[in-house]
């Protein structure tokens, strides 16, 4: 009898799990009115892959959307991009009506002519003041608008308030230089004996982005072209110095929010989404400030996610209506509240924003509005070579800082690896390196 | 007289296994071999192996994998043997011990790694316990990038905790296969517990020890989730490099080259085990 009831319970539980699982896999949103709003379509994105973020997207961000039925689908970058290009190749009318992917991911699909020109949609939203350089980024050097900016993210610095007393004299925490940051970390070490700077150096940490979008351009004004320059050598010697005052367990840090929260580190630069938990948990214990500046400026990396309409979209009017919904100020703020991506349109921040989000929002604004601020996009055009490119960059850090190899030798060797990637893939220069006709060249 | 059915029955019964092995082991293995010798564009080349050998992490990965193997496998075999003999002595409550020992088997290796990270990290359980007990003043950085011995010990401890139960289960099964009359005979000749273990149990347990060693060694070559969690970028291992080249660096050719190296090492290890611990004719016929 007991055995029977236990089995019945297990069956019921399994059934319940199954039902719940099914109900969370892409319940279509919108289309509630029953009026003729065109064919249902898929909104495919490489963003919001964590389950909670998917749920927020389906149940909250898309809740107020009244157009045709939409199925939000997200997966790893390669999966989504393959599906988009497969539908583009097949032509005619396919399933994906709208895509929401990162600028560099668009770049991989632009050559195939997979997207409609959305200049008209951009014109319609002129009053919302989407930054002009973001719109230009979305044209990929042509005249057609490939995507409409949707939301953005970036990286900035977080410091524990305990560290502020060790700030070097004359340094403004909101306008630090790399020299001052190193002096700060050194000062903490001298006074407390502890190494309190942190690098996101675990295998899934984003150290390569810091090197690509922050250190290199700020010191050398470039990335590929200046990879083995004298300025680069100066930069690496500085990083080597900073590493001396960095927590030696940094190699296990994938997101800096965890060591910041536990107090293992006091300072560090990381992606907004990898800092939000600590800022939400302890907003009174930390300050969020712009990333430091180097000799060539305060470069920061902007991650722009855009919305594009595939030529094979089954419902182009529906896709435009969804873009309108996603760009509404209230939807943009909802996206920030729920999934921590920042608005691209001009919005007035609500006063009841979560304290941690407010810290992030302020830091993002301060960073973008710094006098010497210069923006860098994520690497463009690398496609499947992106992984090896990131590895070449990270290996440079590991060899110089961790393994203590000679700076110039490492730079020459790693530059050769990077040059091969550029040449093999015929990848043109981007961002701080300017433009090139052929493959980008290390000088 | 044997009927036709009887003659074909063994083959028919083997068929599902052969189909299973072909589909899930042989075909992927051949594919990996092909991938590793195919150039990125087209045609055959040894480029992938050259890139693997030239890679910053290759020599470290090679050294670390062998080091972990040498440290972990013997330790686990000894531990599991002691635990198995303990349980097999059927003291009161031995069943509970088996359950406790088997708990780690139910935990995925990455989860186990993260669990041990929570123990060994700077503000982890180990340091806070030691600090509360007054043993240390400052947290000890067990997982510091320049503390190779610390990282290695943490991995050995975590791996032993996680996978010893696997060896244990095999050995207990082996122990239970030993007929009781052997023990009775030994008792009759006045053998004490130690002599009984050395002269009766261990020799009869050899087939199980052999399987346990082979399985554990194969897994040791595949270890990487625990290593990733505890050492991050600090301790590359061969299987971890194969994963990184495939998933992060997006080059399945170099990843396959690493996989081929792991395959080669595994085959060599198995041959050595079969030779050294090989069953003699007499034992097979027993």
- Domains in chain A: boundaries: 34-153+303-368, 155-302+380-433
CATH number at residue B148: 1.10.3720.10
Out of A32-36, A39-43, A49-53, B170-174, pick the least confident: A32-36
User: What pLDDT band is residue B67 in, cutting at 50, 70 and 90?
Assistant: very high
- Nearest Cα to B257, choosing from B247, B271, B249, B245? B245
Q: How confident is the model at residue A223 (pLDDT cuts 50, 70, 90)?
A: very high
Which residue from A78, A251, A263 is facing B123, i.e. has the nearest CB? A263
Distance from CA of B234 to the nearest CA of A (A): 6
Residues 6+ positions from A338 with CB-CB distance below 8 Å: A53, A56, A57, A60, A61
Q: Tell the burial category of A76 from Cβ atoms under 10 Å away from its Cβ (0-12, 13-18, 19+).
A: exposed
pLDDT value of position B274:
85
Q: Looking at the complex, does the CB of residue B249 fall below 8 Å from at least one CB of chain A?
A: yes
User: CB–CB of A410/A423 below 8 Å?
Assistant: no
In angstroms, the CA A371 to CA B176 distance is: 77
Residue in B closest to A206 by C-alpha: B248
pLDDT tens digits for A361-419?
A: 889 888 888 888 888 888 887 877 888 999 999 999 999 999 999 999 999 999 999 99
Which pLDDT score is estimated for B279? 60
User: B100 pLDDT exceeds 60?
Assistant: yes
Q: What is the pLDDT of residues A183-221, one digit of tens each?
A: 999 999 999 999 999 999 988 889 999 999 999 999 999
Which helix (DSSP H) or strand (DSSP E) does residue A160 occupy? strand A148-160
**pLDDT class of A81 with cuts at 50, 70, 90:** confident
- The pLDDT confidence band at residue A282, using thresholds 50, 70 and 90, is very high
Q: Do A202 and B233 touch (CB under 8 A)?
A: yes
What pLDDT shows up at residue A35?
46
Domain hosting B203: range is 22-285
pLDDT of A36 reads 56
Is any Cβ of chain A less than 8 angstroms from the Cβ of B143? yes
Residue A62: its pLDDT value, please?
Answer: 92
Among B216, B254, B275, CA closest to B36: B254
A203 touches A388 (CB < 8 A): no
Average pLDDT of A107-126? 87
Whether chain B has a CB inside 8 Å of the CB on A417: the answer is: no
Residue A392 has a pLDDT of 94
User: What is the b/e burial string over A91-117, where b = at least 16 CB atoms within 10 angstroms of the residue's CB?
Assistant: eeebbbbbbbbbbbbbbbbbeeebbbe
Mean pLDDT score of chain B: 87
Distance separating alpha carbons of residues B4 and A66, to the nearest angstrom: 71
pLDDT at A131: 82
Give, as one character, the DSSP assignment of residue A434: -
**CB neighbours of residue A66 within 10 Å:** 13
Mutate to test the interface with B, among A82, A195, A203, A259 (most CBs of B within 10 A): A203
User: Which of B47, B61, B122 is best to mutate for the A interface (most A CBs within 10 A)?
Assistant: B122
pTM score:
0.81
The more confident residue out of A108 and A290 is: A290
DSSP chain B: ---HHHHHHHHHHHHHHHHHHIIIIIHHHHHHHHHHHB-SSSSB-SHHHHHHHHSTTHHHHHHHHHHHHHHHHHHHHHHHHHHHHHHHTT-TTHHHHHHHHHGGGGS-HHHHHHHHHHHHSTTSHHHHHHHHTTS-SS---TT-TT-HHHHHHHHHHHHHHHHHHHHHHHHHHHHHHS-HHHHHHHHHTT--HHHHIIIIIHHHHHHHHHHHHHHHHHHHHH--HHHHHHHGGGS--HHHHHHHHHHTS--HHHHHHHHHHHHHHHHHHHHHHHHHSPPPHHHHH-
Whether pLDDT at B91 is above 90: no
Average pLDDT (B179-197) is: 83
Average pLDDT, chain A: 87
Selecting from A262, A391, A399 the residue whose C-beta is nearest the C-beta of B249 gives A391
Rounded Cα–Cα distance for residues B157 and A399 (Å): 28
User: Quick check: B122 and A251 CB within 8 A?
Assistant: no
Q: What is the 3-state secondary structure (H, E, C) of B129-193?
A: HHHHCCCCCCCCCCCCCCCHHHHHHHHHHHHHHHHHHHHHHHHHHHHHHCCHHHHHHHHHCCCCH
Which of B39 and A410 is assigned the larger pLDDT? Answer: A410
Q: Does domain A34-153+303-368 correspond to CATH entry 3.65.10.10? A: no
Element at A373 (helix H, strand E): strand A373-377
Residue A369 has which token pair? Answer: 């509005």
The C-alpha angle with vertex A360 and arms to A359 and A363, in degrees rounded to 5, equals 85
Contact assessment for residue B112 and residue B157, using Cβ atoms and an 8 Å cutoff: no
Q: By CB neighbour count within 10 A (0-12 exposed, 13-18 middle, 19+ buried), where does A304 fall?
A: buried
pLDDT at A261: 94
End-to-end CA distance of chain B: 27
Residue B80, pLDDT > 80, answer yes
Whether the CB of B244 is below 8 Å from some CB of chain A: the reply is yes
Domain total of chain B = 1
> What value does the mean pLDDT take over residues A142-157?
92
Per-residue pLDDT band for A24 (boundaries 50, 70, 90) equals very low
A19: confidence class by pLDDT, cuts 50, 70, 90: very low
Percent helix, strand, coil in chain A, to 5, is 50, 15, 35
A8 CB-contact burial (10 Å; exposed 0-12 / middle 13-18 / buried 19+): exposed
Q: What is the per-residue pLDDT for B144?
A: 86
Q: How is residue A229 written in tokens?
A: 């320059």
Query: Among residues A384, A373, A397, A361, which one has the least CA distance to residue A212?
Result: A397
Let me know if residue B6 belongs to a domain. Answer: no
Q: For A124, left (φ over 0), alpha (ψ -120 to 50), or beta?
A: alpha
Cα(B199)–Cα(B191) distance, integer angstroms: 9
For chain B, the farthest-separated pair of C-alpha atoms sits apart, in whole angstroms, at: 83
- Establish if A402 touches chain B: CB-CB under 8 angstroms: yes
CATH class of this structure's domain A155-302+380-433? alpha beta
Bridge partners of residue A377, in order along the sequence: A302
Q: Do domains A34-153+303-368 and A155-302+380-433 have the same CATH topology?
A: yes
Asked if A402's CB is within 8 angstroms of B144's CB, the reply is no
What share of chain A in percent tops pLDDT 90? 58
Collapsed DSSP state (helix, strand, coil) of residue A127? helix
- Token pair, residue A258, equals 């965890």
Annotate A50-112 with DSSP letters as a single string.
SHHHHHHIIIIITTT--SS-EEEEE--HHHHHHHHHHHHHH-SS-SEEEEEEEHHHHHHHHTT
DSSP-derived 3-state class of residue A310: strand
Q: Contact at 8 Å (CB) between A224 and A392?
A: no
Complex ipTM tops 0.90: no
Per the CB < 8 A criterion, the answer to whether B248 and A387 are in contact is: yes
Whether residue A17 has pLDDT greater than 80 = no
pLDDT-above-90 percentage for chain B = 35
Give residue A6's pLDDT band: very low, low, confident or very high (50, 70, 90).
low
Residues of B in contact with A264 (CB under 8 A): 121-123
The pLDDT assigned to A21 comes to 44
The H or E element spanning position A412 is helix A407-425
């Amino acid at each position: 009898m007991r055995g029977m009831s236990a089995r019945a319970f297990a069956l019921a539980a399994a059934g319940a799990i199954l039902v719940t699982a099914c109900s969370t896999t892409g319940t279509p949103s919108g289309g509630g009115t029953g009026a003729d709003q065109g064919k249902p379509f898929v909104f495919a994105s490489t963003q919001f892959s964590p389950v909670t973020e998917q749920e927020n997207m389906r149940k909250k961000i898309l809740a107020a959307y009244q157009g045709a039925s939409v199925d939000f689908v997200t997966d790893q970058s390669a999966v989504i991009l393959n599906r988009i290009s497969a539908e583009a190749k097949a032509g005619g009318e396919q399933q994906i009506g709208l895509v929401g992917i990162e600028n560099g991911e668009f770049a991989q699909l632009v050559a195939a002519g997979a997207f409609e020109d959305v200049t008209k949609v951009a014109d319609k939203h002129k009053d919302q003041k989407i930054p002009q350089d973001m719109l230009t980024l979305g044209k990929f050097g042509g005249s057609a608008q490939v995507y409409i900016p949707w939301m953005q993210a970036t990286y900035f610095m977080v410091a524990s308030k305990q560290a502020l007393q060790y700030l070097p004299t004359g340094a403004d925490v909101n306008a630090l230089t790399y020299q001052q940051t190193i002096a700060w970390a050194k000062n903490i070490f001298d006074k407390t004996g502890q190494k309190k700077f942190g690098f996101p150096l675990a295998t899934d940490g984003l150290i390569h982005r810091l090197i690509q979008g922050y250190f290199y351009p700020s010191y050398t004004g470039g990335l590929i072209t200046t990879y083995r320059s004298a300025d680069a050598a100066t930069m690496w010697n500085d990083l080597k110095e900073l590493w001396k005052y960095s927590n030696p367990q940094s190699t296990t840090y994938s997101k800096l929010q965890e060591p910041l929260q536990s107090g293992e580190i006091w300072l560090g630069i990381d992606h907004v989404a990898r800092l939000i938990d600590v800022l939400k948990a302890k907003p009174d214990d930390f300050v969020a400030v712009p990333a430091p500046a180097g000799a060539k400026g305060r470069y920061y990396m902007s991650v722009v996610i855009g919305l594009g309409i595939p030529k094979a979209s089954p419902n182009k009017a529906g896709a435009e209506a969804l873009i309108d919904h996603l760009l509404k100020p209230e939807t943009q703020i909802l996206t920030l509240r729920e999934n921590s991506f920042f608005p691209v349109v001009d919005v007035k921040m609500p006063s009841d924003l979560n304290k941690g989000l407010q810290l992030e929002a302020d830091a993002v604004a301060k960073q973008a509005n710094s006098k010497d601020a210069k923006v860098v996009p994520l690497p463009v055009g690398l496609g499947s070579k992106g992984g090896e490119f990131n590895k070449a960059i990270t290996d440079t850090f590991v060899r110089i800082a961790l393994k203590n190899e000679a700076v110039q030798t490492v730079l020459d060797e790693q530059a050769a690896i990077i040059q091969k990637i550029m040449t093999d893939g015929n990848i043109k220069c981007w961002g701080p390196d300017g433009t090139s006709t052929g493959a980008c060249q290390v000088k | 007289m044997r009927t036709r059915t009887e003659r074909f029955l063994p083959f028919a019964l083997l068929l599902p296994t052969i189909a299973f092995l072909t589909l899930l082991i042989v075909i992927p293995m051949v594919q990996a071999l092909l991938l590793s010798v195919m150039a990125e564009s087209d045609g055959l080349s040894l480029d992938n192996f050259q890139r693997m050998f030239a890679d910053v992490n290759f020599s470290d990965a090679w050294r670390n994998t062998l080091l972990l193997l040498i440290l972990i496998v013997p330790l686990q075999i000894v531990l599991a043997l002691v635990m198995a003999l303990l349980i097999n002595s059927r003291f009161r409550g031995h069943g509970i011990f088996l359950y406790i020992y088997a708990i780690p088997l139910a935990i995925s290796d990455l989860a186990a790694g993260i669990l041990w990270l929570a123990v060994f990290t700077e503000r982890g359980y180990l340091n806070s316990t030691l600090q509360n007990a007054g043993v240390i003043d400052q947290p000890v950085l067990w997982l510091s990038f320049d503390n190779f011995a610390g990282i290695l010990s943490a991995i050995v401890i975590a791996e032993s905790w996680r996978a010893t139960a696997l060896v244990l289960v095999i050995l207990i099964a082996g122990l239970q296969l030993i007929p009781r009359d052997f023990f009775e005979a030994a008792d009759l000749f006045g053998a004490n517990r130690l002599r009984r273990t050395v002269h009766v149990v261990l020799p009869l347990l050899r087939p199980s020890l052999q399987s346990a060693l082979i399985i554990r060694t194969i897994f040791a070559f595949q270890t990487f989730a625990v290593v990733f969690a505890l050492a991050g970028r600090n301790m590359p291992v061969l299987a971890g490099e194969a994963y990184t080249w495939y998933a992060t660096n997006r080059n399945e050719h170099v990843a396959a080259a690493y996989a081929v190296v792991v395959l080669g090492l595994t085959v060599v290890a198995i041959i050595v085990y079969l030779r050294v611990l090989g069953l003699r004719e007499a034992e097979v016929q027993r």
